Amino acid sequence: MMREQAWRLFAGEYNETTCKVEGEGEKDPSYVVTPLGAKVNRLYVAGVLTHVEDISHEGEMFRAHVSDPTGVFVLYVGQFQPEILDYLSHMDTPSYVALVGKSRTYEPEEGTIYVSVRPEILREVDASVRNYWILETCRHTKKRIEAVVEASNMTSPSVTELRSLGYDTALAEGVISSLSHYGKIDIDSYYVLIKEALNSLKTEDIQPHSQTQEIDNQILGLIAKNEGDEGVPWEKLVKKGLEEKFDKEVIETTLESLLDKGLIYEPQLGRLKTA
Amino acid sequence: MRMLEENNFNSDLDDIINALDENIDRSELKKKLEEYLSYGVPLDQAKNTLIKQYGGTPIESQKKNLKDVQVNDRGLNLVCRVISINPKEIEVKGEKRKIFYGFLGDETATRTFTSWKDFEINKGDVIQITNAYSREWQKEPQINLSESTDITQLDPSTIESVVRSPATAKIIDLRGGMGNVEVTARLLSLEEKIVTARGKEKKIYSGLMGDTTGKIPFTSWKDFGLNENDVLTVTNGYIKSWRGAPQLVFDENSQVEKLDSDKLPPEKIGTPLISISVLIERGGGVDMMVEGTVLEVLKSSGFIYRCPDCNRVLRNGICGIHGEVLGVPDLRIKVILDDGTGSLTALFNRELTEQILGMTLDECKTTAEEAMNYAIIEHKIIECMAARPLQVTGDAFSDEFGLTFLVRNVHFVSLDIQKEANELLKELEE
C-alpha cells in the first residue's frame, strides 16, 4: 500500500469541504474532496497554534486550533496519540507548529459536514517553516485553481484529458469529483485567498515596527479586558477602541492582523478572544 | 448501453431493412428481433443474424480503427493482427487466474491488450474482435477482451501491414512494460558482461544513457558497436522494470542509428527537478532529483551498529542472522519526504549524515557515550531536519510499500520568501 501524500492546502479551502469519498474495501482509505479538487486523506500544515482545549476534561481528548492566513484548522487529538496529547498540554499559545494529519469528517445531520484534522505528528517549528509552507501552499492552490479552470472549459471533463495536460492522477481525479459535487466553483474567491496569504508574507517585515507593535498590544489588552468567557463581540470592541481614540480603520486592520498572527481567534463567528 | 424497455428499435430496424433488398414487414421483423434479445443475444449479433436469414450482407457494425479507440469505449468491434501475446498468472480475490497480454495492431495504430479469457489466439493471427472494451494504461487506451467478447479468426491477408508507430519518448516518460519505443539519447557509460542465457554464454552491453529529461540504464543483447559518448536513436526497444525502475532493453529486433554527437551535447544531459508523483508513476529511476519537506524522521535513524558479516543493523547487539556479534558503528538517516504530490522514504548514508549533522561518526559516538544515550543523535537529526524542505538527487526504486530514494546529494532549500511571494503576486495580477 503506497503512503498517501500530504496535501498542502489552506484552512480557507479545507473548511469549505462538503464532499466525502469513502473507501470501498475495508483497507481502502477515505478521502474528502475540496472545492479545488484536492482529494485529501492526509495533509501537512504549518501555522500558529492558537488554542488548546481539553474537551473531555480528563486529558483524553483535546481540541486545538491552528491558524493560517486564510482561516483555522480544527484538530482533534484522542488517547491514541498520547505523545501529541502530552506535547499539546505543555505547549504555549501562540506558537508556530507543523503537523501531518488525517482528514476527518463530522456529520451532525444529513447534508451537513464539518471537516477537521487528526494529527499524526505535531511539533513546534520556527517562523521560516511556516512562511515556506504559506508560499508552497499558495503555489499548490494556484495549480489546483488552474486545473479546475481547465476542466470547466472541457466539453466533457475527464481524468484522461486532465492527465494529458500534465496534472497528476490524484489531482485529476479530485477535480472531476469536485466538479460533479460542487457544480460551479467560485474561482475568484480562491485567487483572493492566495493573494491574502501572499500579502501576509509581505507584512512580516512590518511586524517589528514599534508603533504597530504598540497598537497591537493596546488592542490586545482591550480584548483581554472585555473578552470574558465567551469572547467580546467585534462591534463592541470597535466601539471600545473608538472610545480610546483609535481610528476605526486602524482598529479593524489591527484585528485582522492579530487574527492572522493567531494572537486572537473567534470562538464564535463575530466574537474575539485572546489566544 | 441501450436500455431494452426504452427502445422501439426503430433505428435498428432501419439498419436491418436498409441492409436487405426486399421489403420486409416491419412488425414481423421487430417481433423476431425482440425474441433474439429476450434470449440474451447481443443486439448487433441479433441484427446480423436476421439480415443473414433474409439473405442480406451483415453490417460490419461500427468497426473501429485502433487509432480511434478512446479510453473506456464499450462494445468495440475491431479487426487486428496479434503482434504479440504472453500468458500471465495473476491473483484475483485469492484465486489464481491466467490472463494474456500483448500488442494488437491494424493499419492505423498499435495498442496494448489484456485478455481475461483464453481465446486460443497466437502471434500473427488476424482476428475479428466483437464486443471488447478499453481502459487506460500508461496514458493510452488498452483493449480488453472479456468473457463476453467474441473472436473470429480471419484470413491473415486481411491486414497486410500493421503500422509500426514507434512511441518516440523522452527518457522521463519511459515506463516499465512499454514496447516498441524510440529513444534518442547520449551514451554516458558502457560496460561489457558475459551472461548465461538459456544455457548459452552471451555478451551483453549495458550502461547509462541520458537525454535532456533524465537518465536510464540500458542493456543491449546485440553488439551494435556502441561507444561511450555516442548519440543514438534506438528504435524498437522495450522497457523492463528492475526493482520498479525503468530500464531500456534492445536486441536483434531493434535498430540503432548513430547521430552527430552535437545533436545532444553532454551539457544538455540533465537531471531536471520532477515531482514525487511523477517519480512514483515511473516506479523510480537513476539520478533523479526531487524536492520535498521532511514530514517524519523515522526511528532507526541515527547511531547504529551493523553486523560485521552481513551489514544488517543490529538490535540490542544481536544480528537477525548471525546472533551476538561485535557491531561496527555507523550513521544513517531515514525520513519521509513529501512534496504534496507524493511521498517517499529517503535514505542517507554515513557521509551524508555527517554532513547534515556537522559531526563525524567519532564525534557522534563520543557525544552519545557522554550522554549515555544513543538516541541523542536521533534527536539531533530531528532538530536539523524535521519540517525542513530538502532537495535531493539519487537513485529511486519501488516495491509494493512505496518508493525508496537512495540519496547521493542533499541540500536544504532556502528561498527568499518575500521575493518569491512578490513574484507570485505579480503572476496573479496578470
Residue-wise pLDDT tens digits, B287-310: 999 999 999 999 889 999 999 999
Measure in Å the smallest separation between the Cα of A233 and chain B Cα atoms.
33
Count of Cβ atoms closer than 10 Å to residue A8 Cβ: 26
A5 to B425: CB separation less than 8 angstroms, yes or no: no
Count of Cβ atoms closer than 10 Å to residue A2 Cβ: 13
Distance, CA of B305 to CA of A114 (rounded, Å) = 48
The partner residues of B168 in beta bridges, in order of sequence, read: B182
Residue-wise pLDDT tens digits, B244-284: 999 999 988 889 999 988 889 999 998 899 999 999 999 99
Cell matching residue B115: 485478455
Q: What is the pLDDT of residue B302?
A: 93
Q: What band does A145 get if pLDDT is binned at 50, 70 and 90?
A: very high
Measure in Å the smallest separation between the Cα of B391 and chain A Cα atoms.
14
**Fold (CATH) for B63-158:** OB fold (Dihydrolipoamide Acetyltransferase, E2P) (2.40.50)
DSSP line for A15-79: TT--EEE--SSSSSPPEEE-TT--EESEEEEEEEEEEEEESSSSSS-EEEEEEETTEEEEEEE-T
Cell matching residue B421: 511571494
Average pLDDT over residues A32-55: 95
Distance, CA of A271 to CA of A236 (rounded, Å) = 9
CB distance A117 to A99 below 8 Å: yes
Q: What percent of chain A has pLDDT over 70?
A: 96
Cell matching residue B165: 508507430
Q: What is the pLDDT of residue A272?
A: 86
Which positions in chain A touch B293 (Cβ < 8 Å)?
Answer: 44, 132, 136
User: Chains A and B: how many Cβ contacts under 8 Å?
Assistant: 99
Query: Is the Cβ of B387 closer than 8 Å to some Cβ of chain A?
Result: yes
When mean pLDDT is compared across A51-60, B48-57, B85-94, B158-167, the lowest value belongs to B158-167
Residue A58, CB half-sphere, CA atoms under 13 Å: how many? 4
DSSP line for B343-393: EEEEEE-HHHHHHHHT--HHHHHHHHHHHT-THHHHHHHHHHHTT-EEEEE
Q: What is the pLDDT of residue A251?
A: 84
- For residue B245, give the H/E element and its range: strand B245-250
Distance, CA of B69 to CA of B247 (rounded, Å) = 29
Q: Which ipTM score applies to this complex?
A: 0.75
Average pLDDT over residues A178-197: 92
CB nearest A44 (choices: B275, B293, B428): B293
Q: What angle do CA B224, B225, B231 make, to 5 degrees?
A: 85
CB distance B81 to B125 below 8 Å: yes
Q: What band does B401 get if pLDDT is binned at 50, 70 and 90?
A: confident
Residue-wise pLDDT tens digits, B164-218: 655 678 999 898 888 888 999 999 999 999 988 778 888 999 999 999 999 999 9
Distance, CA of B188 to CA of B286 (rounded, Å) = 13
Q: What is the pLDDT of residue B348?
A: 97
Residue with more model confidence, B360 or B65: B360
Break chain B down into helix, strand, coil percent, rounded to 5. 25, 45, 35
Domain chopping of chain A, boundaries: 1-205, 206-266
Scan residues 81-100 of B and list those with Cβ closer than 8 Å to A. Answer: none
When mean pLDDT is compared across A131-135, A270-274, B242-246, the lowest value belongs to A270-274
B387 to A98: CB separation less than 8 angstroms, yes or no: yes
Q: What is the pLDDT of residue B1?
A: 44
Q: What band does A210 get if pLDDT is binned at 50, 70 and 90?
A: low
B296 to A121: CB separation less than 8 angstroms, yes or no: yes
For B140, name the nearest residue in chain A, comparing CA atoms only.
A160
Cell matching residue B289: 532529483
Close Cβ partners of B372 (under 8 Å, ≥ 6 residues apart): none
Which positions in chain B touch A191 (Cβ < 8 Å)?
Answer: 428
Distance, CA of A157 to CA of A172 (rounded, Å) = 10
> How far is Cα of residue B8 from the mean position of the Cα atoms in its chain?
46
pLDDT > 80? residue A133: yes
Distance, CA of B27 to CA of B4 (rounded, Å) = 17
When mean pLDDT is compared across B7-11, B71-75, B219-223, the lowest value belongs to B7-11
Q: Does domain B276-412 match CATH 2.40.50.140?
A: yes
B341 to A5: CB separation less than 8 angstroms, yes or no: yes
Distance, CA of B12 to CA of A256 (rounded, Å) = 68
CB nearest A168 (choices: B71, B336, B341): B341
Q: What band does A38 get if pLDDT is binned at 50, 70 and 90?
A: very high
Residue B363, CB half-sphere, CA atoms under 13 Å: how many? 9
A135 to B401: CB separation less than 8 angstroms, yes or no: no
Indicate the pairing of strand A42-54 with strand A19-21.
Answer: unpaired
B417 to A142: CB separation less than 8 angstroms, yes or no: no
Query: Is the Cβ of B401 closer than 8 Å to some Cβ of chain A?
Result: yes
Most confident of A52-61, A63-72, B18-27, B124-133: A63-72
Buried b (16+ CB within 10 A) or exposed e, B287-325: bbbbbbbbbbbeeebbbbbbbeeeeeebeeeebeeeeeb
Q: What band does B84 get if pLDDT is binned at 50, 70 and 90?
A: confident
Residue B150, CB half-sphere, CA atoms under 13 Å: how many? 10
Residue-wise pLDDT tens digits, B88-117: 888 777 788 888 988 888 887 788 899 999
Count of Cβ atoms closer than 10 Å to residue A271 Cβ: 17
Which positions in chain B touch A159 (Cβ < 8 Å)?
Answer: 136
Mean pLDDT over each residue of chain B, to the nearest integer:
88
Distance, CA of B205 to CA of B222 (rounded, Å) = 8
Q: Does domain B167-268 match CATH 2.40.50.140?
A: yes
Cell matching residue A228: 470574558
B401 to A121: CB separation less than 8 angstroms, yes or no: no
Measure in Å the smallest separation between the Cα of A38 and chain B Cα atoms.
10
Q: What is the pLDDT of residue B2?
A: 44
For A192, name the nearest residue in chain B, comparing CA atoms only.
B428
What are the φ/ψ torsions at residue A134 (nearest 5 degrees)?
Answer: -60, -45
Q: What band does A206 get if pLDDT is binned at 50, 70 and 90?
A: very low
B266 upstream amide cis, omega within 30 of 0? no
For A42, name the nearest residue in chain B, comparing CA atoms only.
B340
Q: What percent of chain A has pLDDT over 90?
A: 53
Q: What is the pLDDT of residue A132?
A: 96
A170 to B277: CB separation less than 8 angstroms, yes or no: yes
Residue-wise pLDDT tens digits, A227-250: 888 888 888 888 888 888 788 878
Count of Cβ atoms closer than 10 Å to residue B355 Cβ: 13
The partner residues of A18 in beta bridges, in order of sequence, read: none
Close Cβ partners of B355 (under 8 Å, ≥ 6 residues apart): B410
A202 to B341: CB separation less than 8 angstroms, yes or no: no
What distances in angstroms separate CA B306 from CA B311, B318, B375, one per listed residue? 5, 9, 16
Domain chopping of chain B, boundaries: 10-53, 63-158, 167-268, 276-412
Measure in Å the smallest separation between the Cα of A167 and chain B Cα atoms.
10
Average pLDDT over residues B126-139: 86
Scan residues 255-294 of B and list those with Cβ closer than 8 Å to A. Answer: 275-278, 280-281, 293
Measure in Å the smallest separation between the Cα of A218 and chain B Cα atoms.
28
B424 to A125: CB separation less than 8 angstroms, yes or no: no
For B137, name the nearest residue in chain A, comparing CA atoms only.
A160
Q: What percent of chain B has pLDDT over 70?
A: 95
Q: What is the pLDDT of residue B123?
A: 84
Q: Give the full edge-to-edge strand order of the sheet including A19-21.
A: A19-21, A31-33, A39-40
Residue A73, CB half-sphere, CA atoms under 13 Å: how many? 31
Residue-wise pLDDT tens digits, A88-125: 999 988 999 999 999 999 988 887 899 999 999 999 99
CB nearest B387 (choices: A4, A129, A164): A129
Average pLDDT over residues A26-45: 92
CB nearest A202 (choices: B280, B341, B418): B418
Distance, CA of B275 to CA of B272 (rounded, Å) = 10
pLDDT > 70? residue A208: no
0.90 exceeded by pTM:
no
Which positions in chain B touch A125 (Cβ < 8 Å)?
Answer: 386-387
**Fold (CATH) for A1-205:** OB fold (Dihydrolipoamide Acetyltransferase, E2P) (2.40.50)
Distance, CA of A99 to CA of B3 (rounded, Å) = 52
Which positions in chain B touch A135 (Cβ < 8 Å)?
Answer: 415, 417, 420-421, 424
> How far is Cα of residue B37 from the mean position of the Cα atoms in its chain?
41
For B340, name the nearest residue in chain A, comparing CA atoms only.
A7
Which positions in chain A touch B336 (Cβ < 8 Å)?
Answer: 3
Q: What is the pLDDT of residue A207?
A: 45
pLDDT > 80? residue B344: yes
Close Cβ partners of B21 (under 8 Å, ≥ 6 residues apart): B55, B56
Which positions in chain A touch B386 (Cβ < 8 Å)?
Answer: 98, 123, 125
Distance, CA of A80 to CA of A84 (rounded, Å) = 9
Whose cell is 496479434? That residue is B82
